[in-house]
Chains A and B, each alone.
Chain A
Amino acid sequence: MPFWRRESATPFLLLTPAMLTMAFVVVFPLVFSMYTSFTGFRLTKPASLYDWVGFRNYARILSDPEFWIPFGRTVLFLTVVLNVEFLLGLGIALLINRITWGQRTLRTIMMFPMMFSPILVGFMFKFLFNDNIGIVNNALQSLGLSDGAIPWLVDGKLAFFSIAIAEVWMSTSVFAILLLAGLFAMPRDPLEAAKVDGCNAWQTFRHITLPFLMPFAYIAMAIRSLDVARAYDIVTVMTDGGPAGRTEILWTLIGRVGYDNSRMGMANAMAYVSTILSILFTWYFYRKLVAARRYMGGAQ
């Protein structure tokens, strides 16, 4: 009897369409883009797809500070943005959880920033932080808090801060929603037991609520770390990585090399090196997630 007629083959046959689909939409593009990273492929010259250059693109990247400085900046950006989003999201979730009237409306309003296109958010914050006609400087000057035009998008630290604010404004609700879902799912018994045992509010939060919420927080962080590591639209609109490369992050650099300069082979090599970052963050958060669940007596 041929293999495909045996009963044991049925699961494989049933899975075949799904496997083929996965191969077509995931594996093939990955293999193709990896192949191009070993070529001198230029978008505007399709024939260059066959210019095999071996590890030359990778060798150039590994020895190029103009790649590693944005790499380091992206790690810093991720760290700052994820922590701020977590703290704000936790605060918002705890506050909304306490509300007994109008909670659904507030939950919906909280989602509004996520509904904006990142490009629009970038333009909005670019004009808010414009040093000459921007509302932030005008407000600071009108209130007497500043007598100069603060160059929000030019000074290296301030530009980093301004972009982080835009990113945090748009996506804090991801944390808030996931943590709120955690709060809704939280059993009342441990909280009541803590009250009976005489725990104060801080002790209850620190030793019961927070550990219970941490698996939700790590899921949010894993999702957002992939998002933020690919931050492109907001940064492109607000500073385009400048001035003088002061806000250059991986994806503005890769976008410029791949599209503006048409060097897609080199850009793909950069992208593959940068995936190390995403893999490291994802691995770290999943380890923390498993540890948090183990602490709560969940899955091993």
Chain B
Amino acid sequence: MRKITALMVGTALVAVAGMASADETWGDYAGYTLRVKLIGGAQYEKLYAEIPKWEAATGAKVEIVSRKNHFELDKEIKQDVAAGTIDYCVASNHTSFAPQYGDIYIDLNGVMKPEVLAEFDALALKNATVNGSLVQLPRHSDISNLFYKKSLYEDQANKDAFKAKYGYDLAPPETFDQFKDQAIFFAKAPDFFGTQFVGKDEAITGRFYEMLVANGGALFDENWNPTFNSPAGLKALMWFKELYDAKAVPAGSLNYLWDDTGMGFASGTVAMDLDWAGWAAFFNDPANSKIAGDVGLVRAPKGDGGKRSGWSGSHSFSITTTCDNQPAAVSFVTFLTDHDNQMIEARQGLLPTRTQVWKDITAEFEAAGNPFMVEVFNTYSQSMAEDAFTPPLIEPWIEVSNVIWPNLQKGILGEMEPQAALDDAAAKAKVIMEDAGYIK
């Protein structure tokens, strides 16, 4: 009996010690309910399974009042702003969306420990800053690199035929011109395609934008006049159009979003796929992918300007200015983006925003004998460091995007001459920038 009592006391002491340690890390918010709105979707959910640990450590409860995809969440938050009903503390955010929301989120620079922020990638923090205010804590980042089917490049018949036709050796493309040549070379529609692209919404605007920049162009000049109808912009649009006309991409590409391109490449019917790292593990998983074990990866190609495409952004968490318990909210977002939780997301291929996690996840995959995922993290690490850039962090970005992408589609489909399509989009974008007060 005495032994049992001693054991119970010992266990209780260990538990208390554990709690004390946890309390020191995450704080004590017993009895408080933290209301949050989070992005939903299969790749985001694993992190949310960790929330009970934060609840246990702090004594607080987390009430997820909304969990939707980002586009739906964006609409809901805009409604909250209009109705003045921001009665929650934490919301998922994204670097492309953040500039729209005005001043509903606090500046994290004032409330987060500098030593914690110092553990994040400096570029990710810079891209999360709007008008000098760190309105979001980056959760994971995205940027695209080029996955390809290795066996196509190892096939001697392909090498010989390609050299004979194009005059240079067949190797994973280094430029967008080579990318186009190879996509057309490999395509045998409707059974096999050279590549594919996301063809609508901000997705194709982003692709166009990164190619525009890679070609040496820019969306706007220094006075916010649209300049994407430049020769660099036309070259970018023609890249899409020529692939589409040559049937090197699936005919439905203009209706594709990220799921379609990922599933298409995994189906084994596409030679190359410019995509984010979140698909990497999926592509190499025999249970899901017909090309498992046959996947190669190189950095995104370069444009005419000698620069690689690098459209990038971060999913993030923000804290509302109306939050009634900012310390609890800060503790929560810090927990969700801490080292261990970023490791959980990185194991799926999501790119971490903490510099140490890059090193640790690579070491973990090395130790596990998974050279493919090591290559994935090495490649994406390099492109995040050297190639990444965001869209302009301005409030009307999504609205500008919404006049660009329908015209890109018109140019690709031949409903408008490509130059006329870009000129028309630029004229519309100028009106938006004038209405928003950027052009005086």
> What is the minimal beta-carbon distance from A257 to any residue of chain B, in angstroms?
9
The reply on B174 being an interface residue by CB < 8 A is no
- A240–B81 CB distance below 8 A: no
Given the interface pairs A141-B190, A259-B75, the reply to whether A239 lies near B398 with Cβ below 8 Å is: no
Closest to B250 in A: A132
Residues of B within 8 A of A260 (CB): 71, 74-75, 398-399, 402
Q: Would you call B84 and A148 a contact (CB within 8 A)?
A: no
CA distance A117 to B301 in the complex (A): 41
B413 at the interface (CB under 8 A from A): yes
Please, how many angstroms separate the alpha-carbon atoms of A245 and B408 in the complex? 11
In this complex, the interface size class of chain B, counting residues with CB under 8 Å from chain A, is 35 or more
A133 touches B190 (CB 8 A): no
Known: A43-B81, A153-B252. A262 touches B100 (CB 8 A): yes
* Complex CA distance for A237 and B80, rounded to whole angstroms: 24
Say yes or no: is B200 at the interface (Cβ < 8 Å to chain A).
yes
CA distance A240 to B71 in the complex (A): 12
CB neighbours (8 Å) of A264 from chain B are 82
Do residues B251 and A262 form an inter-chain contact, with CB atoms below 8 A?
Answer: no
Cα(A149)–Cα(B85), bound, Å: 48
A to B CB contacts below 8 Å, 11 in the list = A44-B101, A46-B81, A130-B252, A132-B193, A133-B267, A148-B190, A149-B250, A152-B252, A154-B253, A243-B409, A244-B413
Known: A44-B78, A148-B189, A262-B100. A245 touches B252 (CB 8 A): no
B424 to chain A, nearest CB (A): 11
CB-contact partner of A244 in B84, B269, B409, under 8 A? B409
Write out, one digit per residue, whether chain B residues 184-224 have a CB within 8 A of any chain A CB (1) or not (0).
Answer: 00000110010010011100000000000000000000000
Q: Which residues of A contact B199 (CB under 8 A)?
A: 242-243
Cβ contact within 8 Å between B200 and A240: yes
Instruction: Give the chain B neighbours of A147 by CB distance below 8 A.
Output: 190
Question: Of residues 256 to 272 in B, which have CB atoms within 8 Å of A's CB atoms?
Answer: 260, 263-264, 267, 269
Cα(A243)–Cα(B101), bound, Å = 29
Chain A residue contacts of B82, Cβ below 8 A: 41, 43-44, 46, 264
Contact B415 A44 (CB under 8 A): no
For B250, give its contact among A131, A243, A262 (CB under 8 Å).
A131
Are the CB atoms of B399 and A261 closer together than 8 Å?
A: yes
Q: Does any Cβ of A come within 8 Å of B255's Cβ?
A: yes
- A: residues with CB less than 8 A from B are 41, 43-46, 126, 130-133, 137, 141, 147-154, 159, 238-240, 242-245, 256, 259-264
Which of B75, B84, B189, B255 touches A239 (beta carbons < 8 Å)?
B255
Docked Cα-Cα span, A127 to B419, in Å, equals: 33
Which B residues are CB-close (under 8 A) to A263? 399
Q: Across the interface, do A154 and B252 meet the contact criterion of CB distance under 8 Å?
A: yes
For residue B433, which residues in chain A have a CB less than 8 angstroms away from its CB?
none
Most buried by A among B74, B252, B412, B413: B252
Could you say which residues of chain B place their CB within 8 Å of the CB of A148? 189-190
Question: Is the CB–CB distance between B78 and A130 below 8 Å?
Answer: no
Neighbouring A residues of B410 by C-beta, 8 Å: 244-245
Q: Which of B65-92 contact A (CB under 8 A)?
A: 71, 74-75, 78-79, 81-82, 84
A44 and B196 CA atoms in complex are apart in Å by 35
CB distance from B269 to the nearest CB of A (A): 6
A43 surroundings in chain B (CB, below 8 A): 78-79, 81-82
Assess the B402–A259 pair: CB atoms within 8 A. no
The distance from the CB of B204 to the nearest CB of chain A, in whole angstroms, is 10
- A134 CB, nearest partner CB in chain B, Å: 8
Which 9 interchain pairs have the tightest Cβ spacing? A149-B190, A151-B251, A131-B252, A243-B254, A244-B409, A43-B78, A132-B250, A243-B409, A259-B75
Whether B121 is near chain A, meaning CB under 8 Å from some CB there, is no
CA–CA, A244 and B412, complex, Å: 9
The answer to whether B409 and A242 touch across the interface, beta carbons within 8 angstroms, is yes
14 more CB-based (< 8 A) A-B contacts, given A243-B409, A244-B410, A260-B75: A46-B84, A130-B260, A132-B250, A133-B267, A151-B251, A153-B252, A242-B199, A243-B254, A243-B413, A244-B409, A245-B409, A259-B74, A261-B399, A262-B100
B399 near A245 with CB under 8 A, answer: no
Whole-angstrom CA separation of A41 from B79 in the bound complex = 12
The distance in angstroms between the C-alpha atoms of A137 and B196, with both chains bound, is: 18
Closest residue of chain A to B202 (Cβ to Cβ) is: A260
Kindly state the separation between the CA atoms of A150 and B250 in the bound complex, as whole angstroms: 10
Scan residues 229-267 of chain B and give those whose CB is less than 8 A from a CB of chain A: 250-255, 260, 263-264, 267
Task: Decide yes or no: A131 and B267 within 8 Å by CB, A43-B82, A46-B84 being known contacts.
Answer: no
Q: Does B406 contact A (CB under 8 A)?
A: yes
Q: Is the CB of B251 within 8 A of A243?
A: no
Closest to A261 in B: B399
Name A261's contact: one of B81, B398, B405 (CB within 8 Å): B398
> Within the complex, which residue of B79, B254, B267 is in contact with A242, where a contact is CB–CB below 8 Å?
B254
The answer, among B102, B196, B413, for a CB contact under 8 Å with A45, is B102
Which chain B residues border A149 with CB–CB below 8 Å? 189-190, 250-252
- Option from A130, A133, A154, A256 in Cβ contact (under 8 Å) with B254: A154
**B395 touches A (CB below 8 Å):** yes
Shortest Cβ distance from A146 into chain B, in angstroms?
9
Point out which of A154, A243, A256 has the most chain B C-beta atoms below 10 A from its C-beta. Answer: A243
Contact A133 B200 (CB under 8 A): no
Return the CB mask of B36-64 against A: 1 if under 8 Å, else 0. Answer: 00000000000000000000000000000
Q: A243-B409, A244-B406 are in contact. Are A132 and B79 (CB under 8 A)?
A: no
In Å, the complex CA distance between A137 and B201 comes to 25
Residue in B100, B189, B196 with the greatest tally of chain A CB atoms within 10 Å: B100
Interfacial residues of chain B within 413-433, with CB under 8 A of chain A in the complex: 413, 415
A45 to B435, CA, bound (A): 13
Which chain A residues border B269 with CB–CB below 8 Å?
Answer: 132-133
- Given A44-B102, A243-B200, A244-B410, are A133 and B81 neighbors across the interface (CB < 8 Å)? no
Chain B, residue nearest A42 (CB): B82
Q: C-beta contact mask, B379-409 vs A, less than 8 Å → 1, else 0?
A: 0000000000000000100110010011001
> Would you give the shortest CB distance from A264 to chain B, in whole angstroms?
7
B402 and A256 within 8 A (CB): yes
Closest to A123 in B: B259
| Chain B residue with Cβ nearest A255 | B75
CB atoms of A132 and B399 under 8 A apart: no
Q: Which residues of A contact B254 (CB under 8 A)?
A: 154, 242-244
Chain B residue at smallest Cβ distance from A153: B255
* Distance to closest chain B CB from A129 (angstroms): 8
* Residues in chain A near residue B78, CB distance under 8 A: 43-44, 259, 262
B101 CB contacts on chain A under 8 angstroms:
44
Given the interface pairs A45-B102, A133-B263, the reply to whether A240 lies near B252 with Cβ below 8 Å is: no
Kindly state the separation between the CA atoms of A29 and B290 in the bound complex, as whole angstroms.
Answer: 53
* Assembly CA distance A126 to B200 (angstroms): 14
